[in-house]
Amino acid sequence: MTVGAYIFGCIGSKLSKKEFDFFKESQPWGFILFSRNIESKAQVKLLTTELRESVGRNAPILIDQEGGRVQRMRSPEWMEYLPALTQVKKSGSHAGRVMYLRSRLIALELNEIGIDVNCAPVADLLKPNTHTILADRCYGETVEDVVKISRAVATGLLDGGVLPVVKHIPGYGRAVVDGHEQLPIVREPLEVLTRTDFLPFKLLADLPISMTAHITYTSIDDTPATISKKMLSLIRNDLGYKNLIITDDISMSALEGSIFERSKSSIDAGCDIVLHCNGDLKEMIDVANASGQLTSQGEERSQFALEQKRPPKEESIDELQYELSKLMPGEN
């Protein structure tokens, strides 16, 4: 079956006939859910089933369930967590195990409702002036800490039967503006970036899926990373990331041009899949027309990524919660 090189969202808590028919025709690689799509466990389970029925296959369904501020599923139906940076600092020497456990618990919750890809870990290196949109989602200020925690998060998700998406490649920690509203521009020399911001992604290059950063590094290219052939070449060759690359949300204001132009430029630059999140049907049509089908390389990378998903380890939620509570008494 031919599959589109794009991931789509939907508007509400259930599919309209127009959405169902469009997804059936356009065959997106996968789907992504947001808070607007989520009401209850039973409702989300029905929605994920309906999304897969629309394309006639077990399409990947993504979510941003990092824990903390970026957490689409909220209490009382789902567990709440501290922001990642707070959790790591409070956990001290147990940080790796704590972040593993919370990722395992998140994966269990996702599996229960038919979500099998989580957009985490966040491998961006925290800086003193990292924008607040990102800062408390980071894991630390050193490459060693960020890689250690990112690995723990990714392993927790994989052990729970959920694929991780490492983000935001090649690094977003130097962004001092919100990429949802404007383009971050970084002027550090390449030799500095290579041993700092870029390095965690090089050390995590085995992870199956990565998400790009809408950010410009002027020492490499004046074009934003997502649509930069030079940057995608650096990611593939210098950082050694050979697996599936999806864009960050293509509708973010960091990028200029029409949705069609942004999507086409992303694919032309070397991204495998365009992510479109807001559920606007007209925009999704433009994304589909611009992005086309997965390339042969994209199909190979997709197959490899999906093959990394494994059945969840047989551990009960009670056992995992108990261990977490012993390491973090009074906290999640």
Q: Indicate which residues carry an active-site annotation.
A: 180, 248
Amino acid present at 39: E
**CA 123, CA 125: separation in Å to the nearest integer?**
6
Give whole-number Cα distances, 303 to 29, 33, 50, 157, 288, in Å.
11, 22, 23, 18, 20
Q: Which two tokens stand for residue 313?
A: 């380890």
Q: Which two tokens stand for residue 15?
A: 């599919």
Amino acid present at 228: S
Residue showing tokens 């998700």: 157
Contact 134, 179 (CB under 8 A): no
**CA 277, CA 34: separation in Å to the nearest integer?**
8
DSSP 3-state assignment of 46? helix
H, E, C per residue of 166-213: EEEECCCCCCCCCCCCCCCEECCCHHHHHHCCCHHHHHCCCCCEEEEC
Question: For the range 72-80, what are the long-range contacts, defined as Cβ-Cβ under 8 Å and sequence gap of 24 or more?
Answer: 72/33, 72/34, 72/35, 72/37, 72/38, 73/38, 73/44, 73/109, 74/35, 74/38, 77/40, 77/41, 78/109, 79/105, 79/106, 79/109, 79/332, 80/332
Contact 196, 143 (CB under 8 A): yes
**CA 237, CA 313: separation in Å to the nearest integer?**
34
H, E, C per residue of 246-274: ECCCCCCCCCCCCHHHHHHHHHHHCCCEE
Which residues, 6 or more positions from 47, have their beta carbon under 8 angstroms from its beta carbon?
Answer: 10, 13, 14, 15, 33, 37
